[in-house]
Amino acid sequence: MIAIASPSLFQSHLPHWALLALLALSVMPHQAVASDARAIATTICAACHGADGNSTDPAYPKIAGMDEGYLLRQLRYFASGKRRNEVMETIIKDIREADFSSLANYYSAQKPLPGKVNNAQLAAVGKRLYEDGNTETGVPACAGCHQPDGDGNARFPRLAGQHQVYTLQQLGNYHSGRRATDRLMVAVAQRLSADEMKALAEYVAGL
Amino acid sequence: MGMVKKCWAILALQLACSGAYALDAPVWVGINDPAWNEMYPVRVQAMQAKGDAVRGEAKFVICQGCHRSAAVGRVDGSYPRLAGQHVSVLIKQMTDVQTERRSNPKMQPFIHLHEVLPQNVADIAVYLHGLPVTANHGRGPGDDLQHGQLLYMKDCATCHGKQGEGSDEQFYPRVSGQHFNYLLRESLIIRDGKRRNAHPDMVTVIKRYTDKDIAAVADFMSRLPVNP
C-alpha cells in the first residue's frame, strides 16, 4: 500500500539508465576537446586501430589503454619522421598537431581488450625471459621497465594483450635499428634471438 | 677590453674547475691515479651533485631488469647486489663503466651518458646505499673456509675491513652480503687484468693467488656477517 502511495518520480516516467544517458548527453557538448578526439579517432584512426583502440588486424597495434605521454610522443615521432612507418607517415599528415594531445588522451582512456595466447608452451618460455631476462647474453628482464603485468608507463609502452605479429615486428625493427626511438630498446633487441622474440611476443599477448 | 674580458673568463673557468677540489677539502683531494682513481669530469660532477633517493629510485627502473627490484642482484652472481654499497664506490663504478675505464659491455648501453647523467648517477647511488642488505645472497661451497679466512685477514681486511665493510672515504667496496659467484668472477678478472679499474695494490696482492686461493677467499667473504 505504501509503495503505491509513494511512487518515485523516476520510476513513473523513465528508467534510470535513460535518465543517466540524457544527463551524459547534456554534458557532452561542453567537452569539445574530447568529442574532437573521438571524431578524429572514428574517421581517421579507426580503420586500423579501431575506434576504441583495440585493433582487430594483428598488423596494427592495439593502442587502447596505453600511457597518454607515450602515445603523444609516438605521434610526434611519426610526424617528425623520427619513427618510420609507411602507413602512419601518410596518415599523420591528416591530423593537426594541435590535436595530438587530445587524441593521445582519448586512446589512453579506452579500455584495452585482452589478447590471446596461441601456444602455451612458447608463452611459458617467454614468461621466464620476460621476468628474468637472459643473464648469459645480457638481456634484462622486460618486467624491469615494462612492469610485471606489462602495463607500461610514459616511457615504456604497455605490452599486455598486444598482437603477437605487431610485437614481433617492433622487436625486429629495434633489432635492425629501423626503429631507434629508444636506445635502450635497440640494445636489448640486438641481444635477443629470433626464437626469444617469438616467445616474448607470445607471452605478452596473454598478459 | 676584449683581452681583459678573456682573462676574466679564463679565471672564472679555473675557479669553477678547481672548486671541486678546494671548497670543502673532501678526502679525495689530490687522488689522481689514472689507473685506478682518476677524477675525470663526469665522475667529479656526480660526486659534487647532491643525490636524491626518490629520484634515484625512479631512475633505477632501467637497472632493475638485471639488478632486480631493491637491487638485491642475482643469487647466481650473474649480477651483483648493489643494495647498501657505499655511495663513493657506486659512483666510481657507474662512471668507470660509463667511460669504459671498467670493462662491462653488458652494462655499457644502460649507463651510457645518453641515458644516465651525472645527477642521475648521484641520485641512484644515494638510493642504493640506503637499501637494506639481507642475508639471502649466494654463498660458496664452504669447503675451504679456514684457508679463505687466513688469506682474507692477511691481504684483504686492511682495505675491505675485518667485517667486509669497505670504506666510503677510500672508495673501497663493501664485500659482505655480496653474491659468491660475483665475488669469484670479479676477483679472477681483476687478477687477470681484465677488469682494469682495480686498485693497483689489490692487483699486486691478487696476482700471486691461484684459482683455489681466490675461490677460498670469495667463499669466506660471502659468509661475512651481513649486519655486523
Partner residue facing B106 (CB), from A138, A183, A184: A138
For chain A, which ranges sit under pLDDT 70?
A: 1-35
CB < 8 Å to A142, chain B: 65
**SS3 of residue B167 by DSSP:** strand
Which range (B11-20, B102-111, B174-183) has the least confidence? B11-20
Closest-CA distance, B182 to chain A, in angstroms, reads 13
Helix (H) or strand (E) holding A110: none
Q: Percent of chain A scored above 90 by pLDDT?
A: 83
pLDDT at B197: 92
Q: What is the DSSP letter of A112?
A: P
Distance of CA A75 to the CA centre of its chain: 13
Whole-model pTM: value is 0.84
The end-to-end CA distance of chain B, in Å, is 64
Domains and CATH numbers, chain A: 29-108 (1.10.760.10), 120-205 (1.10.760.10)
Tell me the three cell numbers of residue B114. 645518453
Compute the distance between CA of residue A133 and CA of residue A24 in angstroms, rounded to an integer.
47
Tell me the three cell numbers of residue A172. 625486429
Q: Which of B17-21, B76-80, B200-204 has the highest mean pLDDT?
A: B76-80
Taking a C-beta distance cutoff of 8 angstroms, is the pair B83, B128 a contact?
yes
pLDDT for A34-58, tens place per residue? 458 999 999 999 999 999 999 999 9
Q: What is the CATH number assigned to the segment(s) B30-129? A: 1.10.760.10
Tell me the three cell numbers of residue B199. 686498485
Does the beta-carbon distance from B105 to A145 stay under 8 Å?
Answer: no
Length of chain A: 207
CA-based nearest residue in chain A for residue B106: A138
Does the beta-carbon distance from A144 to B65 stay under 8 Å?
Answer: yes
**SS3 of residue A197 by DSSP:** helix
pLDDT at B35: 66
Confidence of residue B4 (pLDDT cuts 50, 70, 90): very low
Compute the distance between CA of residue B2 and CA of residue A36 in angstroms, rounded to an integer.
58
CA-based nearest residue in chain A for residue B70: A144
**SS3 of residue A180 by DSSP:** coil
pLDDT at B9: 46
Count of other CB atoms within 10 angstroms of residue A10:
11
Taking a C-beta distance cutoff of 8 angstroms, is the pair A172, A134 a contact?
no
Phi then psi for residue B27, to 5 deg, are -65, -20
B113 touches chain A (CB under 8 A): no
Closest to B21 measured CA to CA, from B43, B5, B6: B43
CB < 8 Å to A177, chain B: none
Does the beta-carbon distance from A184 to B109 stay under 8 Å?
Answer: yes
CB < 8 Å to B114, chain A: 183
Taking a C-beta distance cutoff of 8 angstroms, is the pair A159, A204 a contact?
yes
Judged against a pLDDT cut of 90, whether residue B65 lies above it is answered with yes
Average pLDDT over residues B64-73: 98
Does the beta-carbon distance from B65 to A135 stay under 8 Å?
Answer: no
Tell me the three cell numbers of residue B214. 681466490
Average pLDDT taken over every residue of chain B: 88
Strand partners, A91: none
pLDDT at B12: 45
User: Is residue A1 packed enough to be buried (19+ CB in 10 Å), middle (13-18) or exposed (0-12)?
Assistant: exposed
Closest-CA distance, A133 to chain B, in angstroms, reads 7
Judged against a pLDDT cut of 50, whether residue B203 lies above it is answered with yes
Tell me the three cell numbers of residue A24. 551524459
Judged against a pLDDT cut of 70, whether residue B31 lies above it is answered with no
Judged against a pLDDT cut of 80, whether residue B164 lies above it is answered with yes
Closest to B125 measured CA to CA, from B186, B37, B201, B53: B53
Compute the distance between CA of residue B65 and CA of residue A9 in angstroms, rounded to an integer.
59
Number of H helices, E strands in chain B: 12, 0
Closest to A175 measured CA to CA, from A148, A200, A150, A152: A200
C-alpha pair distances (Å), A63 with each of A49, A156, A173:
7, 13, 18
CA-based nearest residue in chain A for residue B105: A138
Q: Which of A27-31, B33-37, B60-64 has the highest mean pLDDT?
A: B60-64
Judged against a pLDDT cut of 50, whether residue B213 lies above it is answered with yes
Confidence of residue B227 (pLDDT cuts 50, 70, 90): confident
Compute the distance between CA of residue A12 and CA of residue B150 in angstroms, rounded to an integer.
92
pLDDT at B36: 84
pLDDT for B79-121, tens place per residue? 999 999 999 999 999 999 999 999 899 999 999 999 999 999 9
Q: What is the CATH number assigned to the segment(s) B145-222? A: 1.10.760.10
pLDDT for B142-159, tens place per residue? 999 999 999 999 999 999
CB < 8 Å to B61, chain A: 144-145
Q: Which residue has the cell 676477483?
A: B187
Torsion over CA: B130, B136, B138, B144 (sign): positive
CB < 8 Å to A192, chain B: none
Number of H helices, E strands in chain A: 13, 0
**Domain segments of chain B: what residues?**
30-129, 145-222
Does the beta-carbon distance from B62 to A145 stay under 8 Å?
Answer: yes
**ipTM value of the model?**
0.83
How many cross-chain Cβ pairs, A to B, lie less than 8 Å apart?
Answer: 38
B78 touches chain A (CB under 8 A): yes
Domains B30-129 and B145-222 share a fold: yes
DSSP secondary structure string for all residues of A70-107: HHHHHHHHHHHTSS--HHHHHHGGGS-GGGHHHHHHHH
